[in-house]
């Protein structure tokens, strides 16, 4: 080992190797070690450089390089693969109008197939190789939990994670921030509505047995009196292969009159199918995650058509969804009079025409646009001298006043890193204007009550009295 | 009481679906001595072909027959091109080839039809039958499943027990050299075995799709439960596959209804362990020196 510590460099070691008659394998090893010493010194130098000169990694005079990991393939891809391309529509608009302080936003989203081990590899690649400034709009609870420690240790902002897990607001991880309302807030808002509108009725739950379902139920239980909950059913999403007949039979036998589902879209369909078979018609209340008519509708329309009726994905005969109550934190995409919906549609048409042709404005593309508006404002507030710490500070200081399509304000402070503070309660209704997308027309939403605001903790559910914000004039005019 | 009846009916309906896939596994195992991990993926592909044919507006039953015919073809082609080269090699080779085929077929289907979740229409209404005044968890479509799966298991049973072709197939699979010496065309019979098993698979795919969320991976979990069912039944017995499927379905349903839905997979696992401890060769298998 003397060769590697004498620091004389590869050339000299090569000579020594000949003199001492060592085997080639040993020589290669020594060479490699010497090489890595050189590389380490070089790395140290590059890291030392920027600290003095101050430009932040991923930021130049005319560009900001951001990244994300999202599912573009695999089980979670359908629907969720629309979000990042929709976000890009906003960034393209910003870039076409001079960027933020002259800097264009370059959005580099890569596929992790909703697999945490791939998230880890891809995130490291984004950070170490592509030199991103921050991750923005990465998707998923298990996937983003896997890189939360790494990104925070590197002091890289992990912004607007696409998940309602309570885990994004954690003092241990100051660089992480959520965007949508926490699932517990969804549960509290729905629970409060059930308590006041279905007094004395028997309530049943069917929920996914992981952080998502458990967080929703935590919120429901804070509001709904325990004696009125007659049955609590669960399912395991990883092993769900067929209709949930056992669980629906149990809810029916318990006499549940209101059934709350905290389910992903496929599970919603596999819960409503046995309810249809059994002729079980309680009032269904769904967490928004599993209630998108454009996603669940096509699954159900085939279940109810027999003898090879139309397989058209666009079938509007989705009677099973009619009357379902759910929560919403963005304006309904069927409300064409809403100024945000008008801007959203124009932006997709003009700045992401392929997304518009393929998906139109549905729940997922609307989500992506809203998230991107939020990020652009965070950049504006962070100022001309953009740093990672400066961006995180700007979100904490100004986040509550960001102008977003949200029905209620964002809840950001230096301590709270949750997104929207509440939801409205809405109902899928055959009489509402339909949601029209390139993939068909689906029943739209009408608002029942709200919006409400609350915290994921013990605080009460209160009616939100402020006004919904309007899109900035420049955006409305030039989108 | 109503709860027990509904859970039981739901379990039987789901169990028969496992049986239909397990029958394909048994058929291939008996006819070629190989466990086909691509059984579910092959069924998925033929069901997607039926889906495309349905989209042309030809009606359900023509699409149904197209799927079965494609199954016959697919099974034969897979045997001739992929399985024949590994037929007399160590068993692990065939396992790896069929696993590879599973991944390949799911990739192909994803590339052609996309990974979107879809609905798939059922042959008959999925509205529950009405007994007295209440609907029970058993629909017209479930009756069709019962008839189809029973017919399939009887056909497979008759084939192996009462026909010369069936006897030759078994001989070709388990004693190929002796069979060849006796004038049996071993190669052709192995191809026939795969083709028939793929038809059974195609039928299973059409039965599973309407009760599930239809996508390229929709048969993966079903195959796991079907494999449990086939092993319970003894892997080489059509009756075993039938009963094994129903037992697996009932176990999942009772655990789901009385202990909690998130415990369901553990129910299947416990069942498998108990049966394998008491009767390692499976419930209906004839005990022999040969083991899988």
pLDDT at B286 (0 to 100): 64
Q: pLDDT truncated to tens, each residue of chain A (479 aa)?
A: 333 333 333 333 333 333 333 333 334 444 444 445 444 444 444 444 444 445 789 899 999 999 999 998 876 777 888 999 999 999 999 999 999 999 999 999 999 988 889 999 999 999 999 999 999 999 988 899 999 999 999 999 999 999 999 889 999 999 999 999 999 999 999 999 999 999 999 999 999 988 889 999 999 999 999 999 999 999 988 778 888 999 999 999 999 999 999 998 888 988 998 898 888 999 999 999 888 888 788 777 766 665 444 443 334 345 788 899 999 999 998 888 999 999 999 999 999 999 999 888 988 999 999 999 999 999 999 989 999 999 999 999 999 899 999 999 998 998 889 999 999 999 998 888 888 888 778 888 999 988 999 988 888 999 998 888 888 888 888 87
Please tell me which of the candidates B7, B121, B256 has its beta carbon nearest to residue A309.
B121
Q: Is the peptide bond before A451 cis (omega within 30 degrees of 0)?
A: yes
Cβ–Cβ of B115/A73 closer than 8 Å? Answer: yes
Secondary structure of residue A387 in the 3-state scheme: coil
How far is the C-alpha of A397 from the C-alpha of A418, rounded, in Å? 14
**C-beta atoms of B10 and A250 within 8 A:** no
CA gap A71, A84 in Å, rounded: 10
Quick one: which of B118, B209, B117 has its CA closest to A311?
B118
DSSP for A173-219, written as a single string:
-TTEEE-SPPHHHHHHHHHHHHHHHSTT--EEEEEESSHHHHHHHHH
Nearest to B117 among A266, A276, A307 (CB): A266
Q: Which of B119, B126, B253 is opposite residue A299, by nearest beta carbon?
A: B119
As a CATH number, domain A63-181+337-420 is 3.40.50.2300
Strand partners, A445: A428
The percent of residues above 70 in pLDDT, for chain B, comes to 97
Give A202 to chain B, closest Cα distance, Å.
17
How many percent of chain A have pLDDT more than 70? 85
Q: What percent of chain B has pLDDT over 90?
A: 31
CB-CB neighbors (< 8 A) of B134 in chain A: 279
The whole-chain average pLDDT of chain A stands at 83
The answer as to whether B285 is a domain residue is no
Asked if A233 lies within 8 A of B261 by C-beta distance, the reply is: yes
The residues facing A135 across adjacent strands are A67, A158
pLDDT of B138 strictly over 50: yes
B92 φ, ψ (degrees, to nearest 5): -60, -35
Q: What confidence category does residue B175 fall into, taking pLDDT thresholds of 50, 70 and 90? A: confident
- Mean pLDDT value across residues B66-93: 90
Does B211 map to a domain?
yes
CA distance A395 to A401: 10
Q: Which domain holds residue B55?
A: 2-278
The C-alpha of A290 sits at a distance from chain B's nearest C-alpha, in angstroms, of 13
Residue B284 is assigned to a structural domain of this protein: no
Q: Could you say which of B3, B118, B211 has the minimum Cβ distance to residue A249?
A: B3
Q: Please tell me the distance in Å from A246's CA to the nearest CA on chain B.
A: 5
The helix/strand/coil state of A326 is strand
Decide if pLDDT at B280 tops 80: no
User: Is the pLDDT confidence value at B291 over 60?
Assistant: no
Residue B20 to residue B229: CA distance in whole angstroms: 10
Give the number of other CB atoms < 10 A from CB of residue A193.
22
What local confidence, expressed as pLDDT, does residue A32 receive? Answer: 47
Of A246, A273, A311, the CB nearest to B261: A246
- pLDDT category at B290 given cuts 50, 70, 90 is low
Task: Answer whether residue B98 is part of any domain.
Answer: yes
Contacts of B145 in chain A (CB under 8 A): none
- CATH number of domain containing B257: 1.10.3470
Question: Residues B205-264: pLDDT tens digits?
Answer: 999 998 888 888 889 889 989 988 998 888 888 888 899 999 999 999 999 888 888 888
Burial of B92 (0-12, 13-18, 19+ CB in 10 A): exposed
- Chain A residue with the nearest C-alpha to that of B119: A299
Distance from CA of B248 to the nearest CA of A (A): 13
What span, in angstroms and rounded, lies between the C-alpha atoms of A325 and A446? Answer: 10
Tracing tokens 């592509």 back to the chain, one arrives at A130
Q: Give the separation between CA B236 and CA A227, rounded to whole angstroms.
A: 52
| Conformation bin of residue A102: beta by default, left when phi > 0, alpha when psi is -120 to 50 | left
Q: Which residues of B touch A276 (CB under 8 A)?
A: 126-127
Distances (CA, A) of A272 to A249, A282, A349, A367: 12, 11, 35, 25
DSSP A208-239: ESSHHHHHHHHHHHHHS-GGGEEEEEEE-GGG
The answer to whether the beta carbons of residues B141 and B126 sit under 8 Å apart is yes
Ordered alpha helix ranges (H), A224-362: 245-253, 265-278, 293-303, 339-351, 353-358
Tell if the CB–CB gap between B135 and A73 is shorter than 8 Å: no
Complex ipTM more than 0.90, yes or no: no
Q: In a 10 Å sphere around its CB, with 0-12 CB exposed, 13-18 middle and 19+ buried, how is residue A371 labelled?
A: buried
The pLDDT of residue A127 is: 94
CATH class of A184-328+424-469: alpha beta
pLDDT (mean) for B91-118 = 88
- Residue B289, in any domain of the structure: no
**Mean predicted confidence (pLDDT) in B137-147:** 89
How many folded domains does chain B comprise? Answer: 1
Output the pLDDT for position A94: 94
């Amino acid at each position: 080992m003397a060769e590697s510590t004498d620091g004389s460099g590869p050339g000299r070691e090569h000579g020594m190797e000949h003199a001492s008659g060592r085997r080639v394998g040993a020589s290669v090893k020594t060479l490699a070690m010497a090489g890595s010493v050189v590389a380490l010194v070089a790395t140290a130098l590059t890291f030392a450089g920027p600290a003095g000169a101050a430009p932040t990694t991923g930021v130049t005079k005319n560009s900001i390089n951001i990244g994300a990991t999202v599912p573009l393939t695999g089980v979670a891809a359908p629907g969720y693969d629309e979000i990042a391309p929709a976000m890009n529509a906003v960034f393209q608009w910003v870039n076409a109008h001079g960027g933020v302080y002259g800097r264009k936003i370059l959005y580099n989203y890569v596929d992790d197939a909703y697999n945490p081990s791939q998230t880890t590899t891809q995130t490291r690649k984004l950070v170490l190789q592509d030199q991103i400034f921050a991750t923005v709009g990465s998707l998923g609870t298990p996937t983003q939990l896997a890189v939360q420690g790494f990104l925070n240790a590197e002091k890289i902002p992990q912004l607007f994670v696409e998940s309602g897990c309570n885990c994004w607001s954690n003092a241990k991880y100051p660089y992480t921030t959520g965007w949508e309302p926490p699932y517990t807030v969804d549960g509290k808002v729905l629970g409060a509505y059930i308590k006041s509108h279905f007094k004395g009725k028997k309530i049943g739950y069917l929920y996914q047995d992981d952080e998502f379902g458990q967080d929703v139920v935590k919120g429901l239980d804070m509001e709904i009196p325990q004696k009125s909950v007659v049955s609590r059913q669960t399912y395991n999403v990883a092993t769900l292969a067929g209709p949930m007949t056992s669980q629906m039979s149990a809810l029916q036998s318990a006499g549940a009159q209101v059934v709350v589902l905290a389910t992903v879209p496929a599970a919603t369909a596999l819960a409503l199918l046995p309810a249809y078979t059994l002729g079980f018609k309680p009032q269904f209340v769904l967490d928004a995650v599993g209630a998108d008519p454009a996603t669940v509708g096509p699954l159900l329309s085939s279940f109810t058509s027999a003898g090879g009726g139309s397989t058209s994905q666009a079938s509007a005969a989705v009677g099973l969804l009619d009357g379902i109550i759910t929560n919403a934190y963005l304006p309904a995409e069927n409300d064409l009079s809403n100024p945000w919906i008008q801007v959203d549609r124009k932006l997709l048409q003009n700045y992401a025409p392929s997304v518009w042709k393929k998906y139109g404005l549905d729940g997922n593309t609307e989500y992506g646009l809203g998230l991107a508006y939020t990020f652009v404002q965070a950049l504006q507030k962070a100022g001309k001298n953009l740093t990672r710490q400066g961006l995180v500070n700007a979100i904490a200081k100004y986040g509550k006043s960001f102008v977003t399509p949200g029905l209620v304000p964002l809840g950001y402070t230096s301590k709270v890193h949750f997104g929207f503070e509440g939801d409205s309660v809405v109902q899928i209704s055959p009489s509402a204007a339909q949601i029209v997308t390139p993939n068909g027309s689906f029943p739209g939403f009408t608002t029942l009550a709200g919006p409400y605001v609350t915290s994921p903790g013990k605080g009460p559910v209160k009616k939100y009295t402020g006004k919904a914000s309007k899109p900035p004039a420049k955006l409305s005019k030039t989108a | 009481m109503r709860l027990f009846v509904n859970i039981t009916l739901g379990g039987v309906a789901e169990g028969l679906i496992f049986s239909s896939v397990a029958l394909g596994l048994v058929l291939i195992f008996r006819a070629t001595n190989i466990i086909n991990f691509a059984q579910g993926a092959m069924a998925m592909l033929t069901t997607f072909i039926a889906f495309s044919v349905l989209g042309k507006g030809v009606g359900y039953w023509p699409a149904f027959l197209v799927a079965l015919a494609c199954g016959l073809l697919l099974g034969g082609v897979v045997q001739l091109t992929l399985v024949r080269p590994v037929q007399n090699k160590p068993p692990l080779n065939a396992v790896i080839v069929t696993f590879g085929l599973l991944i390949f077929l799911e990739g192909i289907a994803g590339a052609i039809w996309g990974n979107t979740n879809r609905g798939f229409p059922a042959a008959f209404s999925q509205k529950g039958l009405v007994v007295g005044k209440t609907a029970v968890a058993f629909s017209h479509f479930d009756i069709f499943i019962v008839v189809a799966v029973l017919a399939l298991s009887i056909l497979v049973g008759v084939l192996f027990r009462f026909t010369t072709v069936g006897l030759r197939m078994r001989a070709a699979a388990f004693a190929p050299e002796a069979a060849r010496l006796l004038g049996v065309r071993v190669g052709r019979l192995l191809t026939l075995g795969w083709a028939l098993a793929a038809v059974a698979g195609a039928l299973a795919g059409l039965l599973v799709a309407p009760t599930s969320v239809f996508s390229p991976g929709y048969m993966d979990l079903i195959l796991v439960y079907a494999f449990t069912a086939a092993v319970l039944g003894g892997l080489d017995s059509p009756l075993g596959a039938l009963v094994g499927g129903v037992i697996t379905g009932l176990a999942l349903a009772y655990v789901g209804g009385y202990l909690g839905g998130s415990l369901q997979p553990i129910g299947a696992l416990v069942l498998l362990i108990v049966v394998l401890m008491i009767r390692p060769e499976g419930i209906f298998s004839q005990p022999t020196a040969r083991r899988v």
